[in-house]
Amino acid sequence: MSNEENNKEMKNLIKTAIAPVKDTELRRDLWPQMLRKLDEQSAAAISVPWFDCALAAILGAVLVFFPGSIPALLYHL
Amino acid sequence: MELLERFASGDLEAFEALFRQHQREVFAWIVRIVRDSGIAEDLTVETFWRIYKSRARFDPAGNFRAWARRIATNAALDHLRHSRHETELPEDLPSARTADPVIRRETRERLKQAFFRLPAKYRLVATLALIEEEPYNDIAKAAGISVALVKVRVFRAVRMLRRKLNTLGVGVSAK
């Protein structure tokens, strides 16, 4: 049997094994779900990531305990 | 101002209008790829979220429908990449050519499992081309690849399935 025939047989077998999706109708309006997602994402965009807070806390601690580092920090900014 | 221009400039009402116009079509496209209506609903929302995020890059003179379908295809592909079936196929598989309907049913079941374990990019094109019988041109546009590459991926998907079944002793013949 040639490759082409083999492929044809395989394709036919796939078609018999897996049927096309019959019901492609959307049953409900997804806009409310979309609005929720937009709200969640905009809230997430406003909130500060935890590692930024941690970085700010570490920097604050360094400045408090080692005030001598302030000129060095300003120099590098 | 036109609807697409308003959308591109960030008007939420314009986005809602486009969402309502296109949600059914986007859902219908995605459900044929992922074959689960619940997942397809989530991916439809994800698609429109991606559309909303990229609105500034959209050319209002362009084709919104085609752009949405392309983004929907990418969202579905991302889902397929992260949800591959990991079940192993059993070793004692019967021949595909046997006349026994029970054995043929068993073979079809194994083939189905092998199909859903194909790498995502092959599964995507094979599903649309072989099962849903979408034109290659439409698949190429939606996936952002050439028609030739769609054909290559379908061919390779079929070859992978044939080899997989052959190694398991199912008689879908040859090299």
Neighbours of B1 (CB within 10 A): 11
Chain A interface, best mutation among B25, B41, B106, B131, by max A CB count within 10 A: B131
B96 to A24: CB separation less than 8 angstroms, yes or no: no
The pLDDT confidence band at residue B17, using thresholds 50, 70 and 90, is: very high
| pLDDT at residue B138, rounded to an integer | 96
Taking CA atoms, B93 is separated from A8, B8, B129, B175, in Å, by 21, 55, 26, 18
Q: Which domain holds residue A63?
A: 48-77
A15 to B131: CB separation less than 8 angstroms, yes or no: yes
Count: domains in chain A: 1
The reply to whether A4 touches chain B by the CB within 8 Å rule is no
B162 to A10: CB separation less than 8 angstroms, yes or no: yes
Of 1.10.260.40, 1.10.287.3510, 3.40.50.2000, 1.10.1740.10, the CATH number of B3-82 is 1.10.1740.10
The reply to whether B7 touches chain A by the CB within 8 Å rule is no
Taking CA atoms, B153 is separated from A12, B67, B150, in Å, by 17, 22, 5
The pLDDT confidence band at residue B96, using thresholds 50, 70 and 90, is: very low
The pLDDT confidence band at residue B85, using thresholds 50, 70 and 90, is: low
pTM for this structure? Answer: 0.77
B49 to A23: CB separation less than 8 angstroms, yes or no: no
Q: How high is the ipTM of this complex?
A: 0.78
Q: Which fold has domain B101-167?
A: Arc Repressor Mutant, subunit A (1.10.10)
pLDDT, tens digit, 9 for 90 and up, residues B72-82: 999 999 999 99
The span from the CA of B160 to the CA of A4, in Å, is 15
Question: Which of chain A's residues have a Cβ under 8 Å away from the Cβ of B161?
Answer: 10, 14
Counting every residue, how long is chain B? Answer: 175
Question: Which of chain B's residues have a Cβ under 8 Å away from the Cβ of A27?
Answer: 37
> Which residue ranges of chain A lie beneath pLDDT 70?
1-4, 6, 45-47
The span from the CA of A76 to the CA of A74, in Å, is 5
Q: Say if A61 falls within a structural domain.
A: yes
A3 to B175: CB separation less than 8 angstroms, yes or no: yes
Residue with tokens 């004692």, as numbered in its chain: B92
B37 to A23: CB separation less than 8 angstroms, yes or no: yes
Q: Determine the distance in angstroms separating the CA of B11 from the nearest CA of chain A, rounded to an integer.
A: 13
The reply to whether B115 touches chain A by the CB within 8 Å rule is yes
Report the Cα A5 to chain-centroid distance in Å.
44
B172 to A1: CB separation less than 8 angstroms, yes or no: no
Q: Say if A10 falls within a structural domain.
A: no
Q: Say if A23 falls within a structural domain.
A: no
Outline which parts of chain B fall under CATH 1.10.1740.10: 3-82
Q: Say if A26 falls within a structural domain.
A: no
